[in-house]
């Protein structure tokens, strides 16, 4: 059993001559909830599709549960739950027919757990999937993914289209699932508060690169946004590495620095600022800062 | 695998119904040809009505087979059904096997009733002129291989992105395959040609399905 159920090695993907993923190296440890973030078109869904073997890499290798993604055998696939962006279920099927198909194809179907999910979500069995609302489709997709008792759960923007209550239910279910030993979740989302709530580790994709890959706590501790007030004009260059963003006005400089430590603080103090104030940053603020223009890794651990 | 085969049959039930209708029409013509006491006979001992049904049957069967292959692949890919199924306990290989097996079952459904009816009628209603069974067998082998080629042609075209090109190319190439029967007849040569065409198209469909993004 691999200690890293999800691995990408030098993963590169080109679409029509455009580099979407550039040399991505990612290792998700067993039992971890990994939040994959990135702007629209950053390559989150592409990574997930390559991991699942529904698309191929231009260069590099990916593996799931210790097996090459392109050669995943049926029994391993049966241990991976997947909720796709847009919930690509079989639209012209009735809900009951789709459930039966998934049950028949599954090797580890947990009927009791599935029934409890269906009752929680109150899904209508006699309607066609295409007639369900986006939220209901998301719930059905999630129920089907969870019913197989997955060792690895891959969720590609699963809360898209869900109302607040359904989103909360989903997050609680995800946490419940994780409480079972050894479950791993790869979770991509646009709703950063969701990621902040459940993810232990964060990856941020920007410009085709994985610019952040570390624990959420570490990310919050190591990225600092400072407001420096100067009596005169602020210096043009702070002579610091890992500056993510820097804005200068008349006497004020706002700077976001990765891997901030005492040594960097000492360098800042050599410019004799009148005051240095730390601006608190939420995950959303960090995400916005990290996805501005960066192509180089900011934080890796 | 059985689940996947059942799904394919249910999802393509209209194509199966069309196959049954085609077989039914041809059978009706064949039976009426046998029952008519003043029926004319072709030189090989087969009633003219039965003889004349073949061109209609071959053309219709091949066009339907192309459609069947195209519909199976195009709809699944376009509606992302294959992508959904491939995230379950199913490999691409199994998905493709299920499709191909259902394609072959479809061909059997379309062809077998007519073959069975003819053989039965030839047995129960003795002909004045001896029946050339070897010609009948060759006709059905060539028809089957041509329809198989057309089915695999449709499968290949169904994997493309453009529906209009797939339909036009499918109809055009299907008619070219049928016209080879007019040129070559029902001999061993045409069987070889259709056999090689089928293998080449099957290999191409296999490679394409195993490597395309679903």
- Tell me the pLDDT tens digit for each residue of A11-56: 999 988 888 898 899 999 888 889 998 888 888 899 999 999 888 8
The CA distance from A214 to the nearest CA of chain B, in Å, is: 28
Q: Which two tokens stand for residue B12?
A: 């393509």
- A42 close to A211: Cβ distance less than 8 angstroms: no
Q: Find the residue in B nearest to A56 (Cα).
A: B213
CB A228 within 8 A of CB A248: no
User: Domain-by-domain residue ranges, chain A?
Assistant: 6-217, 224-280
Residue B28 pLDDT class (50, 70, 90 cuts): confident
Query: What pLDDT is stored for residue B153 in this prediction?
Result: 95
Interface of B with A (CB under 8 A): 3-4, 7, 79-81, 83-92, 94, 211, 213-214
List, for residues A87-124, the tens digit of each pLDDT value.
Answer: 778 888 999 999 999 999 988 888 888 888 888 778 88
Q: Which residues of A touch B84 (CB under 8 A)?
A: 84, 88-90
Residue B204, pLDDT above cutoff 90: yes
For chain B, the domain total comes to 1
What mean pLDDT is predicted for residues A242-262? Answer: 84
- What are A147-189's pLDDT values in tens digits? 888 888 898 888 777 778 777 777 777 666 666 666 888 988 8
- pLDDT higher than 90, residue B195: yes
Encode A27-80 in three state secondary structure: EECCCCEEEEEECCCCCHHHHHHHHHCCCCCCEEEEEECCEEHHHCCHHHHCCE
Give the domain extent around B158. Answer: 2-211
The pLDDT confidence band at residue B152, using thresholds 50, 70 and 90, is very high
Secondary structure (DSSP) of A85-121: TT----TTSBHHHHHHHHHHH-SS--HHHHHHHHHHH
Q: How far off is chain B from A87, nearest CA to CA, in Å?
A: 9
Which distant-in-sequence residues (6+ apart) come within 8 Å of A280 by Cβ?
A: none
Which of B84, B89, B94 has the CB atom closest to A90's CB atom? B84
The string of DSSP codes covering A203-222 is EEEETTEEEEEEEHHHHHHH
Superfamily of domain A6-217: P-loop containing nucleotide triphosphate hydrolases (3.40.50.300)
Q: Is the pLDDT of residue A59 over 60?
A: yes
Test B7 with A101 for CB contact under 8 angstroms: yes
Q: Å from A169 to nearest chain B CA?
A: 24
Is the reported ipTM for this assembly greater than 0.85? no
Q: Minimum mean pLDDT among A239-243, B72-76, B136-140: which range?
A: A239-243
Residues 16-55 of A with CB under 8 A from B: 49, 52-55
Query: Inter-chain contact A54–B213, Cβ cutoff 8 Å?
Result: yes
| pLDDT over 90 (residue B197) | yes
Q: How confident is the model at residue B106 (pLDDT cuts 50, 70, 90)?
A: very high
pLDDT tens sequence across B158-193: 998 888 888 899 899 999 999 999 898 888 999 999
Mean pLDDT lowest among A76-85, A259-268, A290-299: A290-299
pLDDT of residue B54: 85
Q: Each residue of B55-77: pLDDT tens digit?
A: 899 999 999 999 999 999 998 88
Q: How far is residue B26's CA from residue B113's CA, in Å, rounded to a whole number?
A: 9
With a cut of 60, say whether residue A295 has pLDDT above it.
Answer: no
**Mean pLDDT value across residues A269-280:** 85
Decide if A82 touches B, using CB distance below 8 A.
Answer: yes
pLDDT (mean) for B136-145: 91
**Contacts across the A-B interface (CB distance below 8 Å):** 58
What is the chain B residue with the closest CA to A146? B88
Pick from A291-295, B47-51, B77-81, B119-123: least confident? A291-295
Contact B23, B107 (CB under 8 A): no
Q: Which candidate from B4, B80, B88 shows the least CB-CB separation from A102?
A: B88
Q: Could you tell me what percent of chain A has a pLDDT over 70? A: 93
**Secondary structure of residue A9 in the 3-state scheme:** strand
- Mean pLDDT is highest, among A212-226, B31-45, B92-106, for B92-106
- Asked if B86 and A88 come within 8 Å (Cβ–Cβ), the reply is no
The reported pLDDT for the residue numbered A75 is 87
pLDDT score for A119: 83
Confidence of residue B1 (pLDDT cuts 50, 70, 90): confident
Contact A74 B4 (CB under 8 A): no
Please report the pLDDT score of residue B10 as a whole number: 93
Q: How far is B22 from chain A (nearest CA, A)?
A: 27
Residue A167: what pLDDT? 78
Q: Out of B79, B85, B214, name the one closest to residue A91 (CB).
A: B79
The answer, yes or no, to whether residue A141 has pLDDT greater than 70, is: yes
Which residues of A are less than 8 Å from B93 in CB distance? none
What does chain B come to in residues? 214
Report the pLDDT averaged over residues A264-282. 84
**A63 pLDDT exceeds 60?**
yes
pLDDT of residue B127: 63
């Amino acid at each position: 059993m691999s200690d890293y159920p999800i691995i990408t090695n030098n993963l590169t993907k080109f679409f029509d001559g455009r580099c979407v993923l550039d040399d991505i190296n990612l290792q998700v440890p067993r039992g971890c909830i990994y939040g994959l973030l990135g702007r629209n078109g950053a390559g989150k869904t592409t990574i997930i599709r390559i991991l699942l073997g529904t698309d191929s890499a231009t260069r590099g290798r990916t593996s799931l549960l210790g097996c090459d993604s392109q050669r995943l055998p049926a029994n391993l696939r049966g241990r991976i739950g997947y909720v796709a962006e847009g919930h690509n279920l079989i639209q012209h099927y009735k809900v009951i027919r789709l459930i039966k198909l998934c049950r028949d194809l599954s090797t580890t179907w947990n009927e009791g757990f599935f029934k409890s999910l269906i009752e929680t979500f109150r899904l209508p069995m006699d309607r066609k999937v295409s007639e369900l609302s986006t939220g209901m489709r998301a719930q059905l997709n999630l129920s089907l993914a969870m019913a197989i008792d997955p060792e690895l759960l891959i969720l590609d923007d699963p809360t898209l289209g869900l109302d607040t209550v359904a989103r909360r239910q989903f997050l609680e279910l995800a946490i419940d699932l994780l409480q079972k030993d050894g479950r791993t979740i790869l979770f991509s989302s646009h709703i950063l508060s969701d990621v902040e709530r459940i993810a232990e580790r964060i990856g941020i994709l920007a410009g085709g690169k994985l610019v952040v890959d570390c624990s959420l706590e570490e990310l919050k501790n190591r990225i600092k946004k400072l407001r420096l007030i100067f009596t005169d004009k602020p210096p043009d260059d702070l002579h610091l590495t890992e500056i993510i963003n820097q804005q200068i006005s008349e006497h004020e400089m706002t700077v976001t620095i990765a891997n901030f430590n005492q040594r960097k603080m000492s360098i800042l103090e050599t410019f004799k600022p009148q005051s240095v104030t730390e601006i608190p940053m939420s995950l959303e603020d960090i995400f916005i800062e990290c996805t501005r223009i960066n192509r180089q890794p900011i934080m890796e651990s | 695998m059985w689940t996947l085969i059942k799904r394919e049959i249910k999802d393509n039930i209209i194509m199966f119904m069309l196959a049954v209708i085609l077989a039914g029409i041809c059978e009706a013509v064949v039976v009426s040809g046998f029952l008519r006491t003043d029926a004319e006979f072709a030189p090989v001992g087969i009633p003219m009505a039965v003889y004349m049904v073949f061109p209609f049957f071959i053309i219709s069967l091949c066009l339907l087979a192309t459609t069947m292959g195209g519909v199976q692949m195009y709809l699944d890919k376009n509606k992302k059904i294959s992508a959904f199924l491939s995230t379950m306990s199913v490999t691409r290989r199994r998905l493709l096997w299920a499709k191909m097996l259902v394609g072959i079952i479809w061909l059997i459904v379309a062809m077998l009733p007519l073959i069975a009816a003819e053989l039965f009628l030839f047995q129960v209603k003795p002909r004045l002129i001896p029946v050339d069974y070897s010609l009948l067998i060759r006709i059905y082998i060539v028809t089957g291989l041509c329809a198989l080629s057309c089915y695999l042609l449709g499968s290949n075209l169904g994997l493309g992105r453009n529906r209009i090109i797939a339909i036009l190319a499918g109809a055009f190439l299907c008619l070219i395959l049928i016209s080879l029967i007019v040129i070559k007849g029902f001999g061993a040569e045409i069987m070889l040609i259709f056999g090689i065409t089928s293998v080449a198209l099957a290999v191409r469909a296999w490679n394409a399905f195993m490597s395309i993004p679903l």
